[in-house]
Amino acid sequence: KYITQLGEGRWVLDGRLPIEDVQSLDLPVPESDEYDTIAGWVLVRLGHIPLPGERVVENGVTFTVQTVRRRRIARLLVQRSTPE
């Protein structure tokens, strides 16, 4: 299962999730020739193989690396910040 909904505006995503599917959740991840998956986008944004706990913040959405296996991002926690 590539997408697990945890609650309103919170998901766990498999790193192999295609960008089109990420965009279908209305998440601010642009398409590019540099990557095909959510893990690839995070790698491009960070510029290195991340450790669990590293994060990318984009337009009020936080993408936190949960699991890294064999130098690949396996799982991400995604959370939309709630407007105050």
The 10s digit of each residue's pLDDT in 4-58 is: 999 999 999 999 999 999 999 999 999 999 999 999 999 999 999 999 999 999 9
11 and 5 Cβ atoms separated by less than 8 Å = yes
Q: Cα–Cα distance between 70 and 61 in angstroms, integer?
A: 26
List the domains of the chain with CATH numbers: 3-80 (3.30.465.10)
pTM of structure = 0.92
